[in-house]
Amino acid sequence: MRTLTNISAVPYSTFRFNATLSSLHEFSSVAELYSFDTATAPVVLGEGSNTIFMQDLTAPICRFVADSKIVTQLDPQHVLIHVEAGHNWHQLVSWTVEQQFWGIENLALIPGSVGAAPVQNIGAYGVELADSCLYVDFYHWQQRKVQRIAAGRCQFGYRDSVFKHALAGKGIIVAVGLCLSKSASPVLGYKGLDHLPADAAIATVFEQVIAVRSSKLPDPAVLANCGSFFKNPVIAMQQYTALKAKHAAIPGFIQADNTVKVPAAWLIEQQGFKGKNYGDVGCYKLQPLVVVNHGAGTPAQLEQLVTAVQQQVFAVYGIQLEAEVRMLNGAGQAVR
């Protein structure tokens, strides 16, 4: 275990607000977790691509950084990839494409670690982690043991899982099991991929996803951001029908349960926030769903922008936008 004290938060959040972390603990194995004192509930962190530190943090931070992977043949057409939580997600996707293992190629270029992926049930271009996940290995702080949680018990939903609810703060993800296919199964229904041939090669799909994402999303290493800041709201069909009568152009995607997912980016752009800045924090000029820190942004500026966006969208559409990104106070608690 490596422990760092009183360090800058900048390298540990892709939004790069200036803050101080009182203590950060990095674990390279489950064995190292056994001896960790959890008298004070720690904040679990992956690569910081979905976390913003709004204040100096007094709560301890824990990162599980082991990153090995094991491949097991399940049957002639499927493989199990057991991946430790510290592995970089995009590097894993790149490797599966090289191996011709289908299932997560649409999730290319999503920043973060493998361990963070089940928490958010990351998704893009018609694919979610839940589609390939077999299990999640979860270390409980109090029980001091690893529990294997089958995917069916992870309560996966849209950007949601049991790790954000019943198991929040109870432990840390140490590994994920993915079932991938050796047979071609391209998912091409989303805009940006729908022009590809039905028999597109896995590398072609992978490269197109990267091209589309790169064309409209800023690289966190160049322009500080945490990706999509707000969730796409899911509303009742009745509410959507009423909105459609007043706002004919409002897009919506009907879900399996007859609810409707409305693109948050459209709602935000229609209210004039695309490219708008509050000090050094603003909605990205090419994709208003992404909130960026131009370099000298402050938590107060971020709060001002988020409040303005939420209030204006609610006033016009009656839809309450929910932040997807964690904004943490000094005790490690979400401020929204």
> Is 26 a known active-site residue?
no
| DSSP state letter for 116 | T
| Residue 222 exposure: Cα atoms within 13 Å on the Cβ side | 5
6, amino acid identity: N
Nearest CA-CA partner of 42 in 173, 174, 171: 171
Contacts of 58 (CB under 8 A, 6+ apart): 22, 330, 331, 332
Catalytic residue among 26, 32, 207, 324: 324
Contact (CB, 8 A) for 283 and 267: no
Which three-class secondary structure state does DSSP give residue 276?
A: coil
DSSP for 224-273 reads: EEEEE-BPPPEE-HHHHHHHHHH-TT---EE-TTS-EE--HHHHHHHTT-
Task: Give buried/exposed letters for 269-280 (b at 16+ CB in 10 A, else e).
Answer: bbbebbeeebee
What is the separation, in whole angstroms, between the first and last Cα of the chain? 32
322 carries an active-site annotation: no
Is 228 catalytic? The answer is: yes
How many Cα atoms sit within 13 Å of 258 on the Cβ side? 3
CA contacts within 13 A on the Cβ side of 196: 23
Q: Which of 16, 161, 228, 326 is catalytic?
A: 228
Distance CA 25, CA 32 (A): 10
| E strands present in 132-181 | 133-140, 145-150, 171-181
What distance in Å separates the CA atoms of residue 317 and residue 300, rounded to the nearest whole number? 26
The answer to whether 43 and 59 are in contact (CB under 8 A) is yes
How far apart, in whole angstroms, are the C-alpha atoms of residue 174 and residue 170? 13
23, 159, 269, 303: the active-site residue: 159
Single-letter amino acid, residue 233: P
Residues forming the active site: 159, 228, 324
